[in-house]
Amino acid sequence: MNEAAHPHEDIASLLKWYVDHGLDETIGEEAVDRFALPPPAAAARAVSPPQGAVAPTPIRAPLQAPMVRAPVPLESPQLAEDAREIARRCATIAELEEAVRAFEGCALKRTAKNTVFADGVAGAPVMVVGEAPGADEDRLGKPFVGVSGQLMDRMFDAIGMSRERDLYITNILFWRPPGNRTPTLAEQAVCVAFTRRHIELAKPKVLVLAGGTAAKAMLETTEGIMRLRGKWTSLKLDDGTEVPTIPTFHPAYLLRTPASKRQSWLDLLAIDKKLKELGAK
């Protein structure tokens, strides 16, 4: 390989891209039978060794190169338009949930155990939107019920709020991506069409975007969570309403990086202050 043409950092970036999209091992298109005998033609060409000589190990025929398949196309952009139209016709959260559960336009639904729609109190002053269900959420059918969700509950409890009274919780995706990989842009586009309508119907006083994926998808930006977190912005919805919105770290990130909890605490204080300014607390 020409290292000048393929510098190490490019190779590392490619490998990281593979891992982020769930490609964590390299395999061929077909299984290889390691115990198969060589083809008859190869055996006929073998020369018998002299008497008393040790027979050489047979050379196996080279494996055939795997058949090159056409690349799998991304989900059709029309699916996002279909989702947006279906969501627009929903007049209540119950109708929207029914529509999401019946929707077959996202491939993630075929590999997930459950549709994970929402938890908490619909119409609560704070709506939290995360990235996607994890293993525990997929198993139980509710968002933020695993270890990271328990941390989030404790965080909001510190400012006197709970999901049983003050929070409405969902994700931009309603189905778990295989291996918890980062959802593709096509998957996000389909589900965000429902999520935007979800926010319109829930009418929160404050919207909290947990994690970089949720923040970038909802705010339609390429900036990372390190730049976005803690900064108030306004999310303009399709019905013309605007919701005060603050991105913050995902609880799963805080479990991996406890030193960042201080910044998240500042975000919680900002949320508490905003609610008091709006008369919602």
pLDDT in tens, 141-174: 999 999 999 999 999 999 999 999 999 999 999 9
Residues linked to residue 86 through DSSP beta bridges, in sequence order: none
pLDDT at 217 (0 to 100): 95
pLDDT in tens, 110-140: 999 999 999 999 999 999 999 999 999 999 9
In this structure, what token pair is assigned to residue 178? 């295989």
Q: Which residues, 6+ apart, have CB-to-CB distance to 165 below 8 Å? A: 121, 124
> Rounded CA gap, 120 and 130, in Å?
14
- Pick from 272, 68, 62, 45: which is nearest to 158 by CA? 272
pLDDT at 173 (0 to 100): 97
Q: Are 192 and 129 in contact (CB under 8 A)?
A: no
* Nearest 10 degrees: Cα torsion 115, 119, 123, 129: -70
Class of domain 77-277: alpha beta
pLDDT at 54 (0 to 100): 55
Query: What's the pTM value of the predicted model, to 2 decimals?
Result: 0.73
Which residues does the chain have with pLDDT short of 50?
A: 1-3, 42-44, 46, 61-63, 65-74
Domain ranges in the chain?
77-277
> Rounded CA gap, 250 and 236, in Å?
22
pLDDT at 65 (0 to 100): 47
